[in-house]
Amino acid sequence: MEKLIKGRKYNTDTAKFVGVVGEQQNLYIKRTGEFFLYFVDKKIVPLSFDKAQKLVKEKLDKDTYNQLFNKTGTEFISIEIDSKVVQYARKEAVKRNIRLNALCEEAIKKYLIQNGVKF
């Protein structure tokens, strides 16, 4: 089932099924990392990351929780960035003798720390 909610598409056919979390409630995760509940009466409800994490912890097994929320190591992501920004980022990475992904990770961490996220 596919539904557009606040300009975002939710599709049970393309999202990954995570598990059954209640009577007639299935939890899905989109490739973007967004979670949503699908109810058998054809209702879809988007979930915040925190609500999904709590739901998985309470309703599903420990392995599923660890796969989704206790990730370690590195992870591959694909993002689109304005080409001018990429050009400047490449120049900066070369100047500092680091890889582009390291520069991007550094920038994201700096942003998150400035906004109160603790690692």
Beta bridge partners of 39: 25, 43
Answering whether pTM is above 0.85, one says: no
Distance CA 37, CA 19 (A): 10
The pLDDT of residue 85:
96
Query: Given CA atoms 38, 41, 45, 51 in this order, what sign does their dihedral have?
Result: negative
Beta bridge partners of 115: none
Identity of the residue numbered 53: Q
Number of helices (H), then strands (E), belonging to the chain: the values are: 4, 6
- Per-residue pLDDT of 16-49, as tens digits, reads 999 999 989 999 999 989 999 999 888 999 999 9
Q: What is the average per-residue pLDDT within 88-96? A: 96
